[in-house]
């Protein structure tokens, strides 16, 4: 039994090493903050803060401040590199609700690339009036 448990534990460590590298790459990405749920469904229609979603009648309707609402509910935020629809998108591993007031703004996220497309953010800045403002959320735990 101990041998099986040891083999299972070793397998978990080997598998974890392939997903989470020993020394994550440091990265800085500049782009636009998006909510990953709506942007993931329809990138072009949901790039800003107002999103297009199907109404009860099946017709598309505008939902103002949708990205703000989604982030406020804890749906993960992302950053679309270069601020262009369709460019590489990274999921920001940080408190989404702390970023809700900055959705659809130009942002700069610095942190560690822990898996392809996921950044543990150590610093998050948004551009306001031509200047970068630090909006890094506090510790999550």
Structural domain boundaries in the chain: 23-134
pLDDT (average), residues 112-134: 95
More confident residue, 85 or 29: 29
Say yes or no to pLDDT of 137 above 80. Answer: yes
pLDDT of residue 3: 45
More confident residue, 83 or 33: 33
Architecture of domain 23-134: Beta Barrel (2.40)
**Helical H segments across the chain, by residue range:** 2-19, 36-41, 66-72
Q: What is the pLDDT of residues 3-47, one digit of tens each?
A: 444 444 444 444 455 555 567 889 999 999 999 999 988 888 889
CB crowding 36-56: b at 16 or more within 10 Å, else e? bbbbeeeeebbbebebbeeee
């Amino acid at each position: 039994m101990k041998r099986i448990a040891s083999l299972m534990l070793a397998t978990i460590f080997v598998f974890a090493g392939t997903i989470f590298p020993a020394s994550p790459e440091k990265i800085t990405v500049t782009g636009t903050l998006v909510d990953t749920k709506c942007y993931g469904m329809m990138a072009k229609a949901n790039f800003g803060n107002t999103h297009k979603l199907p109404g009860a009648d099946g017709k598309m309707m505008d939902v103002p401040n949708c990205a703000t609402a989604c982030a406020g509910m804890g749906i993960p935020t992302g950053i679309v590199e270069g601020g262009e629809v369709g460019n590489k998108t990274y999921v920001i591993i940080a408190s989404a609700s702390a970023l809700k007031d900055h959705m659809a703004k130009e942002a700069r996220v610095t942190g560690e690339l822990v898996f392809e497309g996921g950044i543990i953010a150590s610093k998050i800045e948004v551009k306001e009036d031509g200047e970068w403002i630090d909006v890094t959320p506090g510790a999550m735990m």
